[in-house]
Homo-oligomer: A and B are copies of this chain.
Amino acid sequence: MKPAIQITRTGLVIAERHPAHRLVALIDSALRGVGQVMFQDNTYTGLLFLAGLGVNAPFMALYAFAGALISSAVASLAGAETQPVRQGLFGFNGALVGIALPMFLPMTSPAIWLWLAGGAAASTFVLAFLMRLLAPWNAPALTAPFVFVTWAAILSVHALGHIPAAAPPPPALDMPLWQLLPRGLFNGVAQVFLQENPVTGALFALGLLVNAPAASLAALLGSASGLLIALALQVPAPTLAAGIFGFNGALVAIAVGHTFAPKARGALFFAAAATILTPWVQLALSAALAPVHLPVFTFPFVLTTWVFLLGMPVFFDRSKPPSV
């Protein structure tokens, strides 16, 4: 007889639908959801990502896990298919909402938990909307639900009168380039979860490594690309060191260069073009959002990846009938 719960190389496989087993399945789904923030359907990757968060700020690990748990549970209760929930696909936007809301909203505990739960639940409905909206192009929603829900939450507190004060300029950073570059490289990976801590970034890279070494390499190359382009564009040193120009490049490199890469000659050039354009998309979006005082979050990644994934059939696999 098949056991109710099996431990596999990528996490738990749960056969029975006993209530207690369902709870275990939900927890495993939430951990996979944390891993899916960087496209990995792997419980251990999720645990390593939570370890990376916990090293920097223990509460962040709790928030991320809670967000993934709530958005996955809401999807299940609302009637979504079991398989994508179990793969963590309804968890990763909730995980990011769970991290971002406590950082960007003026509420504190316990009120912030209400906003976090509402935001994570909302991310599930926004994801369902985007899944169907993007279905004609067979394109993934990526982290767009996180971005839209978090923007909406921040804007709504602006409308309620909590206008953000202009952030003070960061203190000057007097650091030689050989220190600044590795710091910016790993912080770039850490900033995928809005963290600034090179050890966190290293643990994230390790989390990728245990599931997909090529994804780990892509993340580091994407972060390096953003960092070096920002350096060439004379972005100030504190911004470089904090990894601000790394995380969108890291995600684009994983998505276009690994997860959704075309199986064809020239795929690497295609991924390189996407990754190289990302810092300009990020700069442009940050200027576009300045009048409404919003951070870009991972929207540069989302937009660049949509542009390249949708355009892909124009250049690759033209023999196949278009999916549209």
Contact = CB atoms under 8 A, between A and B. Distances in A.
A78 interface: yes
A156 B122 CA distance: 32
A151 B284 contact: yes
A122 B311 CA distance: 12
A4 interface: no
Interface residues of A, number: 59
A209 interface: no
Contacts of A273: 121, 125
B152 A280 contact: yes
A153 interface: yes
A274 B122 CA distance: 9
A158 interface: yes
Given A280-B156, A307-B129, A81 B292 contact: no
B153 A280 contact: yes
A20 interface: no
A152 B266 contact: no
Given A280-B153, A287-B155, A311 B137 contact: no
A324 interface: yes
B287 A324 contact: no
A270 B315 CA distance: 36
A295 interface: no
Interface string A146-188: 0000011101101110000000000000000000000000000
A80 to B, nearest CB: 6
B78 A133 contact: no
A273 to B, nearest CB: 7
A38 to B, nearest CB: 23
Interface string A285-307: 11110111000000000000011
The binding surface of chain A is classed by DSSP as: helix
Nearest to A233: B160
A210 interface: no
Interface of A: 78-81, 118, 121-122, 125-129, 131-133, 135-137, 151-153, 155-156, 158-160, 233-235, 266, 269-270, 273-274, 277, 280-281, 283-288, 290-292, 306-308, 310-316, 318, 322, 324
B234 A315 contact: no
A284 B235 contact: no
A283 B156 contact: yes
B316 A79 contact: yes
B78 A287 contact: no
Contacts of A136: 136, 324
A311 B313 CA distance: 26
A318 B132 CA distance: 12
B78 A266 contact: yes
Given A78-B315, A132-B137, A315-B78, A159 B310 contact: no
Given A283-B155, A314-B128, A288 B292 contact: yes
Contact of A128 (B78, B280, B286, B315): B315
Given A156-B284, A280-B153, A283-B155, A313 B234 contact: no
B307 A277 contact: no
